Homo-oligomer: A and B are copies of this chain.
Amino acid sequence: MTVSHKPLNQRSARELAQGIAAGAFTAEQATEACLARIEAREGAIKAWAHLDPQAALSRARALDSGPPRGPLHGVPVGIKDIFDTFDAPTEMGSPIYAGNRPFADSYAVAALRAAGAVILGKTVTAEFAGMHPGPTANPHDPSRTPGGSSSGSAAAVADFMVPVALGTQTGGSVLRPASFCGVVGFKPQFAAISRAGLKLAAETLDTVGVLARDVEDAALIYDVLTGQVPAAPAERATPPAIAFCRTVLWERAEPETIRALEEAREKLGAAGAAVDEIDMPGDFLAVDRERNIVNAVERARTMAHEWHHHRDAISDTLAETLTEGLATPHEAYLAALETCREARARLPGLFGAKDALLVPCVPGAAPRGLGFTGDPAFQGFWTALHVPTITLPTHRTDDGLPVGIQLVGRPREDAGLLAVARWTLARLKGSDP
């Protein structure tokens, strides 16, 4: 094993697990390093909704004094504050849930714990994983949004407070903050990771995802959460076949996103990938519109209790969505679901023999201000199509702000997308448009 001199809080989940297993350092030391970073930076970043350092250290010490628990033994992780945790509040980014203490862990938290992870704390979520932001700032420029709704998870991973964190995506809530914060954001195929114990936002869209600083860590967490023995994403024997696709939403792309994609396309081609350009048929445009209908109607259902009992404590932004959902005729909702289903059925034709699509992730770098988490359209589109997607921190603006690209995997081929992403990130690391 090579000796690393990187501070523990900057190491990957794999490096931490390996170091603890080898006796190079303890889970307690890894946890202390993350807590020290948080202590130094949390005043500026505000990534955490709940943190109990003594409890986390005590869990780490218990792991240090016990037998190996699993592939994440001693690794600190952050949990978006819409996943139930039995030993910490779960507040959903809403005053309605202040002090809420669930009875049991959500599936994802229980699985991480069973694999030996130290649940470091709960990260800030936009209100009910929607568009009304919490206080988190972007680590690359605290005057800018970190994106949302997995705001705290993205900021904490980007700021080296924790190597990996859980997020969820209903529109663009994993990939957008990852892109804005300069980390990897992976959303597997729809519902690949059990949603038990998660506060649902929109049932046919919600997907559990992972924020990490490299593809291998995202794959590690994904493997644990899908009950697999973790294995690094396969090294591709041959370069992938990638289709560059401007999508039907290209007019929303700003110069830095256009430059990032053009440059990625060129470099990947030069590295041996077959990069063709494909057009997306215009009828896919309906998915963008219909996803908003599905989102509004399903959110109105998952929020029925809060709507009837705590309406005054719901933000205006969310109340507007819920009102729209409640006013939508059932037939329009069914038609919207059908549009999404039909578009999914056309995906094999769009992909052809390609391994992945290279598409925009965000319009551009993180917008100024903390009041708006950014446009989710480039991500929501694919979320509604249920395909796996990943953003890679490949590019920066001249001002040093991250701009991620997005790779879209073939339907249900999560592992295939991770392999393409690993290949791609290795070729583009450190790119500047």
Residues of A within 8 A of B (CB): 86, 97, 100, 102-107, 109-111, 113-114, 191, 194-197, 200, 203-204, 226-228, 297-298, 300-302, 304-309, 326, 330, 333
Residue of B nearest to A328 (CB): B227
Among A111, A191, A305, the one with the most B-chain Cβ atoms within 10 Å of its Cβ is A305
With A107-B304, A194-B203, A194-B298 given, is the CB distance from A226 to B330 under 8 Å? yes
Copies of this polypeptide in the complex:
2
Pick from B111, B226, B297, B302: contact of A196, CB under 8 Å: B302
Contacts of A228 in B (CB 8 A): 330
Not counting A100-B103, A195-B203, A227-B330, a sample of 6 additional A-B residue pairs whose C-beta atoms are within 8 angstroms of each other reads A97-B103, A107-B305, A110-B307, A194-B203, A194-B302, A227-B326
With A113-B308, A308-B113, A308-B114 given, is the CB distance from A301 to B100 under 8 Å? no
B298 touching A105, Cβ below 8 Å: no
* Least distance between A306 CB and chain B CB atoms (Å): 7
* Least distance between A127 CB and chain B CB atoms (Å): 15
Contacts of A104 in B (CB 8 A): 305-306, 309
Residue of B nearest to A330 (CB): B228
Residue of B nearest to A104 (CB): B305
A203 touching B226, Cβ below 8 Å: no
* Least distance between A301 CB and chain B CB atoms (Å): 4
Contacts of A305 in B (CB 8 A): 86, 104-107, 109-110, 197
B195 touching A227, Cβ below 8 Å: no
10 smallest beta-carbon distances between A and B, as pairs:
A110-B304, A194-B301, A196-B302, A104-B305, A105-B305, A110-B305, A196-B200, A228-B330, A107-B301, A107-B304
Contacts of A200 in B (CB 8 A): 194-196
A-B contacts, 6 of them at CB < 8 A, read: A109-B305, A110-B305, A194-B200, A194-B301, A227-B297, A227-B326
* Least distance between A384 CB and chain B CB atoms (Å): 16
